[in-house]
Amino acid sequence: MVKDLNNIREDFPILNEIVNDEPLVYLDNAATTQKPRQVVQALENYYYHDNANVHRGVHTLAERATEHFEAAREKVRAFINAASTKEVLFTRGATTGLNWIAASYGEKVIQAGDEIVISYMEHHSNLVPWQQLALRKGATLKYIKLTDQGTLDMADAKQQITSKTKIVAIAQAANVMGVINPVKELAKLAHAQGAIMVVDGAQSVPNIKVDVQDLDCDFLAFSGHKMLGPTGIGVLYAKEALLLEMPPIEFGGEMIDFVNLFDSSWTDLPWKFEAGTPDISGAIALGAAVDYLNEIGMDQIQAHSHEIVSYVLPKLQAIDGLTIYGPQDPAEHTGVIAFNLDGLHPHDLATGLDMEGVAVRAGHHCAQPLMKYLGIPAAARASFYFYNTKADADRLVNAVLATKEFFKDGTI
């Protein structure tokens, strides 16, 4: 269990909200996490004391803002163990990062007849950019199958990744079924065929310890708002050698070296890709979020997630008529559990849970191909984080039972 959990919860005032006359149980963390006071204070401190544009300014506020902005980059570098801050690009989020890879590296490398390999469990952000790239270039988009348990079929992965494969793009942790994928092994398969490994880290970086050098991934994209940071800030990690060869895809201030009337040259990494005024406050607050996560420890966060899922999964499995998608073994999960209740549309189920003060998400979760693969239109999804407790888990179970009882006559 995370140390001093009650004290940690005190850092999140929103957890004291009352929803529909019930104390809030927030279980929508896969969509976005709540923000501790320390992160909000980092935003406030920047705007109240250091607000200025970064880089090139010589006045005191500009120098302070630049110092805090680049310090945040170093915090992120250390957090994912990148070799250099040159490999850490600030973006608007994981979606932007994945689109940058497709639009820059992919556009340069992919030719007609090449293959791009993804899986059926990918979020649209790690599917549509590759789909559209393949359509533009005349390449083939291939999908790795899933096992009956909803995990990645590694035997099929070995079949799908061939000498024609140029890009393998897989989520390290799936946003619907909470599966943790063996991206280190996938990277070895990709590199053996001369392909590069792209990792969607939106769900993994907030929940498990991620070491990009150990994984040997070529790219990793993730979002700040899923790891206690603000919305609108994210990170793209890429190996320096790849970034040096990639063209920028946005142009303007900040990313230039010299601009002449008819040609331009680009500045050094990482700023070559960061056109315009960046989200300065967001990056600084993301640095504060990294500090907060480090104070708890990613090992403890992952252990707490395992403890909560081990506690609640059997209770949900015992509910008659409840179907859980993905692995039934808690050891194979992040804090994400997707489920449906017989006879209820997931939106009705989520509405019923909300009436009990329990916030979950319902829909296709930006994973429509996965929904089709599973043979369902949508699902409800509860996602736990380190500030959730076993009492929260019990509230979820009781809310499901109460909702089932309310709709037991089938008139919905």
Question: Is 217 designated active site?
Answer: no
| Whether 337 contacts 381, CB under 8 Å | yes
| H runs (alpha helix) in 257-365 | 280-296, 298-317, 346-355
Q: How far apart are CA 170 and CA 152, in angstroms?
A: 10
Radius of gyration of the chain (CA): 22
How many helices (H) and strands (E) would you count in the chain?
15, 17
- Which residues are CB-contacts of 354 (< 8 A; sequence separation ≥ 6)? 19, 20, 360
Six token digits for residue 208: 């498990």
User: Cis link prior to 330 (omega < 30° from 0)?
Assistant: no
CA 123 and chain centroid, separation = 10
Six token digits for residue 60: 């005191």
Q: How far apart are CA 73 and CA 94, in angstroms?
A: 16
Nearest Cα to 317, choosing from 329, 306, 308? 329
Per-residue pLDDT of the chain (412 residues; tens, 9 = 90+): 444 666 899 999 999 999 999 999 999 999 999 999 999 999 999 999 999 999 988 999 999 999 999 999 999 999 999 999 999 999 999 999 999 999 999 999 999 999 999 999 999 999 999 999 999 999 999 999 999 999 999 999 999 999 999 999 999 999 999 999 999 999 999 999 999 999 999 999 999 999 999 999 999 999 999 999 999 999 999 999 999 999 999 999 888 889 999 999 989 999 999 999 999 999 999 999 999 999 999 999 999 999 999 999 999 999 999 999 998 888 878 999 999 999 999 999 999 999 999 999 999 999 999 999 999 999 999 999 999 999 999 999 999 999 999 988 554 4
DSSP result, 147-198: -TTSSB-HHHHHHH--TTEEEEEEESB-TTT-BBP-HHHHHHHHHHTT-EEE
Q: Which contiguous run of DSSP H or E holds residue 31?
A: none
Q: How far apart are CA 7 and CA 38, in angstroms?
A: 13
Q: How far apart are CA 308 and CA 51, in angstroms?
A: 41
What pLDDT is attached to residue 6? Answer: 66
Taking every pair of Cα atoms in the chain, the longest distance, rounded to a whole number of angstroms, is 73
Question: Domain 5-29+297-406 belongs to what topology?
Answer: Aspartate Aminotransferase, domain 1 (3.90.1150)
Q: How far apart are CA 21 and CA 391, in angstroms?
A: 18
Q: How far apart are CA 283 and CA 307, in angstroms?
A: 31
Q: How far apart are CA 41 and CA 64, in angstroms?
A: 16
Which among 366, 376, 401, 402 is annotated as catalytic? 366
What are the structural domain ranges in the chain?
5-29+297-406, 40-295
What pLDDT is attached to residue 4? Answer: 67
Six token digits for residue 79: 């957090």
- Which residues are CB-contacts of 360 (< 8 A; sequence separation ≥ 6)? 27, 28, 350, 353, 354, 380, 381, 382, 383, 396
Length of the chain: 412
Residue 28 DSSP one-character state: B
What pLDDT is attached to residue 5? Answer: 62
Q: How far apart are CA 143 and CA 305, in angstroms?
A: 29
Sign of CA dihedral 345, 351, 357, 359: positive
Angle, CA of 355, 371 and 343, to the nearest 5°:
45
3-state SS assignment for residue 406: helix
What is 40-295's CATH number? 3.40.640.10
